[in-house]
Amino acid sequence: MTMTSEIDLTSSAAKRVAAIAERQGKPAILRLAVDGGGCAGFQYRFELAEGADKDDVTAERDGVTLVVDTVSLDLVRGSSVDFVENLGGAAFQVNNPNAQSGCGCGTSFSV
């Protein structure tokens, strides 16, 4: 497990992860992975994790840990994970400087 400044978790996202984890009785660890697919080529996948794998890269904020596998990190390096609430709903959002295009749903991107 490596701490990094290559990816960040906003305080809004950390607060939301902590609330979800507490409600589900799980550790406050959010895993971000990138899968092939989605309407733009790649899609973000979020889930609560029990822990970090030995080759994961991690970032911490306010007692919450964000974990990313090294393959996904290549696609999200320099990104920030945020939690956004607006008229369209509430969701985790990745502000990814590597994405050349995205889609309307905000969960899919291309590089």
Q: How many domains is the chain partitioned into structurally?
A: 1
Q: Are 42 and 75 in contact (CB under 8 A)?
A: yes
Residue numbers of the domain that contains 34: 2-110
Spell out, as residue ranges, where the chain has pLDDT lower than 50.
none
The pTM of this model reads 0.84
pLDDT for res 14: 97
Q: Are 7 and 66 in contact (CB under 8 A)?
A: yes
* 65 Cβ contact list (under 8 Å, min separation 6): 27, 28, 29, 30, 52, 58, 59
pLDDT for res 12: 96
pLDDT for res 35: 87
pLDDT for res 41: 75
Specify the CATH number for the domain of residue 10.
Answer: 2.60.300.12
Q: Are 76 and 96 in contact (CB under 8 A)?
A: yes
